[in-house]
Amino acid sequence: MKIAFIGGGVMAEAMIKGILGQGVARPKDITASDINPERLSALSQGYGIKTSADNRQAMEGADVVVLAIKPQNLKEVLDGIRGQAKEQLILSIVAGASIAAIAKGLGHNLVVRAMPNTPAQIGEGITVWTASDEVSKGQKKMAQSILGALGKEIYVSDEKYIDIATAVSGSGPAYIFLVIEALVDAAVHIGWPQETAGELVLQTVLGAARLAQETGKQPAELRKVVTSPGGTTEAALLQLEQGGLRALIDRAVIAAYEKARILGGK
């Protein structure tokens, strides 16, 4: 499979790393284009792939073209490559950009829209994706193999779930990082040494997530198990509930969802 990346940022690099690591494609079959020559040099030296400063040139001969650019650059990029795609599959990871918008901008209907997240950098990501009606079964399998190299992938038949995934799993790592920051700060505040506070919190977060994953139990059930009546955990959770943690998270996710829709012109 030959793959071209339009854009060489963090997510593009994560995808390239995963694709090569899982043997989905070989370095000689991957080309990346970007306006930043330093990024192209880093990708070429780091992964042995081909690079180009010309998007149209990078697309030549590719089976799949990955759009890995910022939403604000989408129109300019689509205008620049319009008419270049023939039977190629366009795989977009551009936040908020609908299949219809990409198809219209390119004059090309073979489009997959996906929302990966940053843990893809270590093969622990999750990607939600969908495809236009014109995409063949074979092309869906190609998309699945690319996205599966980043971690887990979930196919949805309704595109509305992509904007929802953008707000939950796409932006979600940042929410968790903020919680980790806050826990580390709190640990230091009450006396834990700064140099090991991160280790304490990270393993707690990792262990809790793995426990939920391995047991298959609902988070509410696991929370009740660790919350003894009149105990320390109950005292802490009471503060979080009184502070409106649930409502705050709900508002945050809704804000991200609405922003994704605005970016997509909805």
Residue 263: predicted pLDDT: 79
First to last CA, the chain: 34
Q: What is the CATH architecture assignment of 172-263?
A: Orthogonal Bundle (1.10)
Q: What whole-number percentage of the chain has pLDDT above 70?
A: 100
* pLDDT at residue 261 greater than cutoff 90: no
What would the pLDDT profile of 196-209 be if each residue is shown by its tens digit? 999 999 999 999 99
**What's the pLDDT band for 104 if we cut at 50, 70, 90?**
very high
* Comma-separated ranges of CATH 1.10.3730.10 domains in the chain: 172-263
Residue 167: predicted pLDDT: 95
Residues 4, 50: Cα–Cα separation, whole Å: 9
* Comma-separated ranges of CATH 3.40.50.720 domains in the chain: 3-157
Residues 112, 104: Cα–Cα separation, whole Å: 14
**Residues with Cβ < 8 Å from 180, sequence gap 6 or more?**
198, 201, 202, 205
- Report helix angle 245-263 to 232-242, nearest 10: 50
Residue 128: predicted pLDDT: 97
Can you read off the two tokens belonging to residue 15?
């995808």
Average pLDDT, the chain: 94
Choose among 4, 107, 101, 84: nearest CA to 51. 4
For domain 3-157, the question of CATH label 3.30.70.520 is answered with no
What would the pLDDT profile of 140-149 be if each residue is shown by its tens digit? 999 999 999 9
**What's the pLDDT band for 132 if we cut at 50, 70, 90?**
very high
* pLDDT at residue 47 greater than cutoff 80: yes
CB contact at 8 A, 103 and 130 = no
Sole residue written with tokens 């001969």: 61
Residue 215 Cα distances to 71, 84, 169, 212, 226, angstroms: 39, 49, 21, 6, 14
* pLDDT at residue 266 greater than cutoff 70: no
What would the pLDDT profile of 209-244 be if each residue is shown by its tens digit? 999 999 999 999 999 999 999 999 999 999 999 999
Sole residue written with tokens 């809704």: 254
CB contact at 8 A, 52 and 33 = yes
Pairing of the two strands 50-52 and 64-67: unpaired
Mean pLDDT, rounded, for 39-61: 95
Residue 78: predicted pLDDT: 95
Q: Please tell me whether residue 175 adopts helix, strand or coil conformation.
A: helix
**What's the pLDDT band for 116 if we cut at 50, 70, 90?**
very high
DSSP 154: E
